[in-house]
Amino acid sequence: MKVKRLFQGVKGKKLKVYELGAVEIREKVVAGEFKVREIVDQLLARIAEYDTEIGAFVTVDTEGARLRAEELDAMVAKGETAGKLLGVPVAVKDNICVQDGLTTCASKMLDNFKPPYSARVVQRLLAEGAVIIGKTNLDEFAMGSSTENSALKQTRNPRNTGCVPGGSSGGSAAAVAAGFVPVALGSDTGGSIRQPASYCGVVGMKPTYGAVSRYGLVAFGSSLDQIGPFARNVEDAALVLEVISGSDAQDSTAATEKLKLSGSYPGELQGMKIGLPTEYFDTEGLSSQVKEAVLAGTERLREAGAELVEIHLPLIKYAVGTYYIIATAEASSNLSRFDGVHYGHRCEQPTDIIDMYSRSREEGFGAEVKRRIMLGNYVLSAGYYDAYYLRALKVRRKIADDFSRAFAEVDLIASPVAPTTAFKFGEKTADPLAMYLSDIYTISANLAGIPGISVPCGADAEGLPVGLQLLADNFKDDLLFKASAVLANVGIGVAF
């Protein structure tokens, strides 16, 4: 598929449903300009036509989406139009439970699993009138940076189908970039929302840890995971995040209050200080084109009234090692439940219980998942716990302290999202360390629990998108949207 330039307006063109954002769709449904069924049918037709090439979806709930649309149209006919996402189609990453539909985690282990309940975020979307269109592809159990680790299918970047969409939420990012849905949900353990958002040229937001309930999210790293939105504009991302945030009695890590984000994006930044960490811009492997685009983005922030300040985060150099010790340790613990007994894949004709456990896990897990389970078991073992896992927890605390000191001086921190733009398929699969370094700029936010957003700020010479990352202190998520509006106000078109 031909690359389409990232920022091209739609002036003079007749607006199509697939070009509309979530806020616009709701407005048109309430005004009677569109029926929800018409919106859903147009997007389902677009998915049917193009997703054979893109591969964003694992499952598309055609019948369920149409029934939901008719239900919402009946509500509108009776004057019931209060839902903040009324008639808005949403895609959901396939590690987030939707009741009675498949939730596979893009794995053989869960290829036939149908959860008996919906995740809290899904419940909150439906309560505000959303339509769940389908479930999107990901790296198996969210472990990867390119969506090449999916056991089910390959997802291609809609901006250039020869390139990966990023990961692990590559399917959700691709679905939004391709105009299949205006918004989607992903999960971010070490950059898995922000990095694919950068690669696909959309907005991707990882909220403060605890701002969004993890109830119904299949766990990878429980102290790192967060659910967040993808969108083609800042207003839509803020609206979805506001809807899904808030307390939850079934998640003890969830915050007590909802995020208040509506109207937090005026695009004027007088008095705001934005830090530029020297450690992020002097990294070996940072593409000169990415660096140039990101610095151009920060210049636009300065022109909007922000003051740019050079800062230092000296312990960031330890973030990659720290993250992969903690993340693999938590993964090995969380994935121990998949044993062929309770649910998930079970091998055929086991000779005994040990054979059943070992062969079920051998057959059910892919190479990357096995690698991380083995690493996690190693760092948690009796002989190495103190040397690796305990030390990583101490370094994590110091990295968080680094950010706390920085936010005493500045309001936000700006950096690249990834060292390069989207790479080609197979380019990094033979070198796991090179793949892991794709997340070098994003993982520190998960270690510290702070919010981060990726906003398109330009493109490289090949037309591939470049994302600028903004980070804020805990529960200052609204500041990210305020600053991001400056970068995203040029509009982000669909990929084709």
Residues with catalytic annotation?
93, 168, 192
The residues, ordered by sequence, that sit 6+ positions from 55 with a Cβ below 8 Å of its Cβ are 137, 153, 154, 155, 156, 171, 174
State how far the Cα of 378 lies from the Cα of 388, in Å rounded to an integer. 9
Q: Which residues contact 406 (CB under 8 A, 6 or more apart)?
A: 275, 277, 311, 313, 413
How far is it, in rounded angstroms, from Cα 182 to Cα 17?
9
367's CB contacts (< 8 A; 6+ apart) are 149
Give dist(CA 246, CA 68) in Å, integer.
25
Find, among 104, 82, 110, the residue nearest to 92 by Cα: 104
CA distances from 460 to 192, 199, 201, 293, 467 (A): 21, 11, 12, 8, 11
C-beta neighbour count of 268 within 10 angstroms = 13
Strands (E) in 268-370, as ranges, are: 273-277, 307-311
**C-alpha 378: how far from chain center:** 29
Give the single-character DSSP code of 462. T
Tokens representing 479 are 């500041």
